[in-house]
Structure 1
Amino acid sequence: MSPATPPPPPSSDAALRDRAVAAAVAQGLVSASDPVAGLLDVAGVRRSAAELRAAFEEFTAPGTPVLHAFAVKAASLVPVLRLLAREGLGCEVASPGELALARAAGVPPSRTVLDSPAKTPAELREALALGIAVNADSFGELDRLDALTASAPTASPLGVRVNPQLGGGSIDAMSTATDTSKFGVALRDADARERVVRAFLDRPWLTRLHAHVGSQGMPLELMADGVRVLYELAEEINAKAARAQVGTLDIGGGLPVNFASDAVSPAYRDYARLLHRTVPGLFGGRYGLVTEFGRSLLAKHGLVLARVEYTKSAGGRRIAVTHAGAQIATRTVFAPDAWPVRVAAYDAQGRPKTGDAVAQDVAGPCCFAGDLVARDRPLPPLEPGDHVALLDTGAYYFSTHFAYNSLPRPGVHGYAPGPDGGVRWATVRAAQRVAELVAESGGAYGDALTQL
């Protein structure tokens, strides 16, 4: 599937965003009956995919196989996966559900990678039958693969995930290369490196190595150092095997996102250039490459738009009660220092709100006191019927719903510039209705417990 040519970037992402908000309100995508929705800038997503491809193409030897596999967890929505596939990306999946979504989006097995620390025998059998690449997360999983490959030969590329144990970043939960991380084989543990080398020498069908040292809050230098450790391990294995047994390096993803402004920083080229400097042999053509970027492809191109239902004051603090809270912005509510979001204020017609900024809390609808997406935030005074936009929320926020208070999942809509300055729309996911929520919550089994 050849990548589509990306459209030229809009003259101003912020200006297009403002037009999209006004159009969403005018067309009822956000309304009294549907008071919250996700909006995704399709041209922006295409541009990010093109920038990723170009960054690696600049430094990679011609003819080197490179697969950019989008981390499905960042946006587990079939239309998004299909859009990225049209832009030349594959999928990295970490569950049967994510694999099913990738397949529904038309992503071929040859462009799919399965990563998870808890793969079941059934998951492994399915992946091996389809020819999907698998990164074993432990020696125990390698034992399981031994049995499965002995009974049924596979075309799946198989590898091992290792943990370079280089330390963490500023967000503990996003740091996957700490001494005690649950992911991969811990290379610095006693005898672990030797066991990994021996595992490859004993299994000629192991041809890949994988590492992913972290995500948001991770310094680029630490990420590049993790790739260096991976490269050096591959060189050691190949030297001891006296052949090019390891032919592909899966270097993970995790490029941090700037949540403080509209600026895209760091850029993919910044990271590719750093890798080229830190691991000179990486791009020379001796190894195929796989990347697994997620958040960085989508975050800057999405927003959550919500109506302000009520405003009030408590202890001298203004509070705007909206329909965007922990059910959508879960990380922001429970870990606000690690996951802050910018909030833009719009009026009842979806126009940018004006007026002197006043410190106020922006609260969500969930029934607990901490359901706040912004605290003491300077914003033009919000009133009932106005709107707030949570910016930079194109990754995770749309598809990682927290079902607190049985609040339904919001609709998600993609937008692109239209003729005469208008906005064109496409439904990515329809808003969940109450009847669907009841069915999901066991509605068909209402009498089940009373009959015991």
Structure 2
Amino acid sequence: MTQTTSGHDEGGAAAPATTPGARRDPRFDAAVRAAVEQGLLGEGSEVAGFIDTEGVRGSVAALHAAFSGAPGVLHTFAAKACSLIPVLRLLADRGMGCEVASPGELRLALDAGFAASRIVLDSPAKTREEIRSALARGVSVNADSLDELRRIDALRAPDSASVVGLRINPQVGGGTIGAMSTATDTSKFGVALGDPGAREAVVEAFRERPWLTRLHAHVGSQGCPLELIAAGVARTYELAEEINATLGVRRVTSLDIGGGLPVNFADGTVRPTYADYVAALTSAVPGLLSGRYSLITEFGRSLLAKNGFIGALVEYVKDAGGRRIALTHAGAQTATRTVFMPDAWPLRIGAFGPDGAPKNGPVLAQDVAGPCCFAGDVVAYGRELPELAEDDVVVLYDTGAYYFSTPWAYNSLPRPAVYGFWAEEAEAAGQAGPVVFTTVRDAQSLNAIAAESGLAHADALVRADASPRPEGPEERDG
């Protein structure tokens, strides 16, 4: 879904729309039906993720359009939001850079085709080897602490092409989801700017290092209102001005303002939009988009969430204690945050028949549960949907980011297949053409699960010279 509507969203946990068919996206309906018809969903393919490639392109275009008035902006995609190489390559093709936070993500970004100069490495716990490798490649590095800057002092070659920045914590407070708020007084990220002596130490760090030219801040994401995010950017901008004025030289030349645009999970509309965000930034920091500083953004969830969904087969339906429960193949292994924090991460659910067509008829309050072997593996409680039955399909909307791309291996459940889709042009004007799918990631095989679980070392703990095991009671009494 592209950015087409406006209005501010505080990123809270409003309950999703439950009216069957409300704000349906005909592209997604067509994709579900085509996936069932083509065998991508159903028996033998019980769960899969789907990415709307045209929707992704539209979201990227909306981002670039919103910042079009600002010169020198590098928009990077937070790789953790969808760490799939074909998706990253699509984003690189649309002019994005990439923000990474681990050696694995850096490898994925490079394999996806991002130039090293368009990659930014963020992490609160970089090893010496991570830093050394990034600096050798020309990847930008945001140090998370003054101690990390001192480590970079020892590792950075004089001719390194990497831009080096320092992350600060503007300490502007938290949003409605504490775990997603990174600018609280005690956040583990960045230099806590308001702590005694911290501001002076940051200025001194820039004085001592002519190659330190960037400030970085990230207030948080889901649950953080635009005003809070903009306040953090404003404090970062003010600090840059202070550093340059104190040193009498334009030392800070770029600002990495992070990402964090919250996603509306309550219905199908996109709010807030990137245009809303730019308006909030302009209000809080009038000079930010003037070109005085080059800018870097790190959006993730807002680019992908509404452009993807999970489809899953209903395996059984049962009643327990007066509650109807649909047991499906989409649970905590693909919707981890929703299962463990359902109030913070509610998802809209769609009901489809065995043929992939949307279900209609009277609604019934039902729990939609997953396959994991613990009682809390439920993605939706008491959701009013057309009555689900065996072999139906449920759809978890707004899951294009952080869901099927980073599954949890609980119960050794296989990682689901992921497909990109688009509609071909129809012969008749104004009509949608057939849905085309392409494989983004194959479903994980049982052989791959066994290999990942140490199959090659199966005998590693069995010693030929081990002492005989103690006899059990039955053997002694034998």
Q: Distance in 2 between matches of 1:237 and 1:85?
A: 33
Aligned with residue 55 of structure 1, among 59, 66, 71: 66
Counting only pairs closer than 5 Å after superposition, residues 300-449 of structure 1 correspond to structure 2 as 300-420=306-426, 421-449=433-461
Give the SS at the match of 1:292: strand
Q: Distance in 1 between matches of 2:406 and 2:148?
A: 28
Q: Percent identity?
A: 62
Residue type of the alignment partner of 1:383? A
Counting only pairs closer than 5 Å after superposition, residues 34-73 of structure 1 correspond to structure 2 as 34-58=45-69, 60=70, 64-73=71-80
Q: Distance in 2 between matches of 1:297 and 1:8?
A: 9
Aligned with residue 244 of structure 2, among 215, 238, 242: 238
Q: Distance in 2 between matches of 1:81 and 1:274?
A: 28
Q: Distance in 2 between matches of 1:82 and 1:90?
A: 10
Give the SS at the match of 1:313: strand
Deviation at 1:286, TM superposition (A): 1.1
Aligned with residue 113 of structure 1, among 116, 120, 123: 120
Aligned in 2, Cα 1:7/1:160: closer, same or farther, shift over 3 Å? closer
CA offset digits 1:148-191 (Å, max 9, x no partner): 12x55311000100000111000010000000000000000010
Matched, 1:142 2:155: no
Structure 1 portions without partners, runs of 5+: 1-5
Q: Which residue of 1 aligns with 2:129?
A: 122
Deviation at 1:212, TM superposition (A): 0.1
Contact 2:171 2:184 in 1 (8 A): yes
Contact 2:73 2:294 in 1 (8 A): yes
Q: Distance in 2 between matches of 1:430 and 1:361?
A: 29
Which structure exhibits the higher relative contact order, with contacts defined as CA atoms closer than 8 Å and separated by 6 or more residues? 2
Deviation at 1:371, TM superposition (A): 0.3
Deviation at 1:13, TM superposition (A): 7.3
Q: Distance in 1 between matches of 2:454 and 2:170?
A: 44
Aligned length: 440
Deviation at 1:7, TM superposition (A): 11
TM-score when scaled to structure 1? 0.96
Q: Which residue of 2 aligns with 1:286?
A: 292
Deviation at 1:51, TM superposition (A): 0.2
- Provide the aligned C-alpha RMSD in A: 1.5
After TM superposition, the runs of 4+ consecutive aligned structure 1 residues lying more than 6 A away are: 6-9
Aligned in 2, Cα 1:274/1:23: closer, same or farther, shift over 3 Å? same
Counting only pairs closer than 5 Å after superposition, residues 120-199 of structure 1 correspond to structure 2 as 120-149=127-156, 153-199=159-205
Give the SS at the match of 1:207: strand
Residue type of the alignment partner of 1:114? L
Contact 2:2 2:59 in 1 (8 A): no
Deviation at 1:71, TM superposition (A): 0.2
Q: Which residue of 2 aligns with 1:256?
A: 262
Residue type of the alignment partner of 1:140? D
Aligned in 2, Cα 1:362/1:13: closer, same or farther, shift over 3 Å? closer
Q: Which residue of 2 aligns with 1:102?
A: 109
Contact 2:3 2:273 in 1 (8 A): no
TM-score when scaled to structure 2? 0.90
Q: Distance in 1 between matches of 2:123 and 2:32?
A: 37
Aligned with residue 25 of structure 1, among 32, 36, 46: 36
Q: Which has the larger radius of gyration?
A: 2
Residue type of the alignment partner of 1:92? E
Structure 2 portions without partners, runs of 5+: 5-22, 427-432, 467-478
